[in-house]
């Protein structure tokens, strides 16, 4: 058993049982709002909450804190620990980006005995259930825990917005607002300096941020992974990508857009590219550059180290004999203050998560579908990637015609 006893009373709450919560993968605005709402909703039902630090790593190491509505004793004095366990108050963290629990990309399935040890630690603590907030990697581990008998529920967190089964992942709205603002601001520099900028946004496999943030920011062209992945993905698994195979748009298409702009006296251009972009023209260069880059426990390379934006910028510079500059905005987009939409959605996710636990609906995740909060099987989130539909790209690309581009 755990060496410190979990308290049965905190403030004026008599706690009948405990649940755990963790945040995996990268940070995303909305994590803290979900945590705050979940803790409030749990305490309302007299359920205590343990927050595991550093994702699944904290679960393995029994590294956790007590999460409470306010870190106060009955005399309204701030406290830092109870029964030797660290205490964190979750008041007023709704708009804070990042995660008060910290994140990591620990993969229990890649650690020998990882699933079994995590399960044993949860049993030793006597937790009723575990909440996992993360993208498809985090949720795939949650699903594996569920298959091994752990009471797990989850919520889709990723600014990439690429988790199946939900219309939105929290963090995405904040990210596209940040990218759009950055591009709008950068446009003035580009106009003043006759600059050609390539803005690299996050999006390992899907181009949601680049497309929506780039379009809202007024980018003159956008490159997203779907343009190429549609040609290499299993056609039976991804029939929704079929129309992309008919779209001939790549880095050379961007070169032509810039050339036409220069011929019209428009010597500035801002391009937005997803960090996971590649095409037949660049794939050998990208593959060579990626060869020696480290990978995380889920097998993903560090795309910030790869720098697809710079690769695209260098290619354009060579083709047109012009100066280009690449700018990465990934960390900026996930570090902005949580948008109202993300905060509202996350609050509802947190409330819905405790409802799933109380109803014993394990192996489920909260999702947003047609503006309603519903639950879906975790298996839905880990089966495939939610790509940007072709019609979205086609609609946005209409603005890149030389007759329409500013």
| Number of other CB atoms surrounding residue 34 within 10 Å | 31
Q: Which two tokens stand for residue 35?
A: 């945590």
CA atoms within 13 A on the CB side of 278: 19
Residue 10: strand, helix, or coil: strand
Active-site residue, selected from the candidate residues 54, 136, 137, 160: 160
CA angle 127, 377, 65 (to 5 degrees): 25
- Which helix H or strand E contains 314, and what residues bound it? helix 308-320
- Any idea what DSSP says for residue 110? G
- Any idea what DSSP says for residue 205? S
For residue 69, what are the contacts with CB-CB under 8 A and spacing of at least 6?
Answer: 11, 39, 40, 43, 89, 90, 91
Q: Is 185 a catalytic residue?
A: no
For the CA atoms of 331, 334, 337, 338, the dihedral, rounded to the nearest 10 degrees, stands at 180
**Residues that are catalytic:** 160
């Amino acid at each position: 058993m755990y060496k410190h006893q979990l308290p049965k009373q905190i403030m004026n709450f008599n706690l009948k049982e405990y649940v755990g919560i963790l945040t995996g993968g990268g940070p995303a605005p909305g994590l803290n709002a979900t945590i705050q709402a979940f803790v409030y909703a749990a305490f309302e039902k007299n359920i205590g909450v343990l927050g595991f630090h550093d994702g699944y790593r904290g679960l393995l190491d029994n590294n956790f804190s007590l999460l409470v509505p306010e870190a106060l004793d009955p005399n309204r004095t701030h406290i830092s620990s109870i029964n030797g366990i660290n205490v964190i108050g979750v008041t007023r963290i709704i708009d804070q980006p990042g995660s008060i629990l910290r994140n990591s990309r620990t993969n229990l399935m890649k650690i020998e005995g990882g699933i079994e040890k995590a399960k044993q630690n949860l049993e030793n603590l006597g937790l009723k259930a575990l909440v996992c907030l993360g993208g498809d990697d985090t949720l795939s581990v949650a699903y594996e825990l569920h298959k091994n008998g752990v009471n797990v529920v989850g919520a889709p967190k990723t600014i990439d917005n690429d988790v199946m089964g939900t219309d939105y992942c929290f963090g995405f709205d904040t990210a596209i607002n940040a990218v759009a603002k950055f591009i709008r601001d950068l446009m003035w520099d580009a106009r003043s300096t006759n600059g050609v900028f390539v803005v690299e946004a996050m999006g390992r496999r899907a181009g949601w941020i680049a497309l929506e943030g780039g379009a809202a920011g007024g980018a003159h062209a956008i490159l997203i992974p779907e343009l190429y992945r549609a040609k290499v993905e299993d056609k039976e698994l991804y029939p929704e990508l079929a129309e992309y195979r008919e779209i001939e748009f790549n880095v050379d298409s961007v070169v032509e857009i810039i050339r036409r702009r220069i011929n019209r006296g428009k010597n500035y251009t801002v391009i937005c590219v997803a960090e996971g972009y590649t095409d037949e023209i660049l794939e050998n260069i990208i593959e060579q550059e990626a060869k020696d880059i480290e990978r995380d426990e889920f097998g993903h390379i560090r795309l910030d180290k790869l720098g697809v934006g710079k690769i695209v910028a260098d290619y354009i510079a060579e083709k047109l004999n012009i100066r280009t500059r690449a700018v990465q905005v990934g960390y900026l987009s996930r570090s902005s203050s949580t948008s109202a939409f993300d905060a509202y959605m996350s609050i509802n996710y947190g409330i819905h998560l405790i409802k799933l636990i109380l109803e014993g609906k394990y192996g489920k995740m909260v999702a947003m579908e047609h503006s309603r909060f519903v639950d879906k099987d975790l298996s839905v989130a880990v089966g495939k990637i939610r790509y940007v539909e072709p019609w979205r790209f086609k609609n946005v690309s209409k603005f890149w015609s030389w007759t329409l581009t500013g």
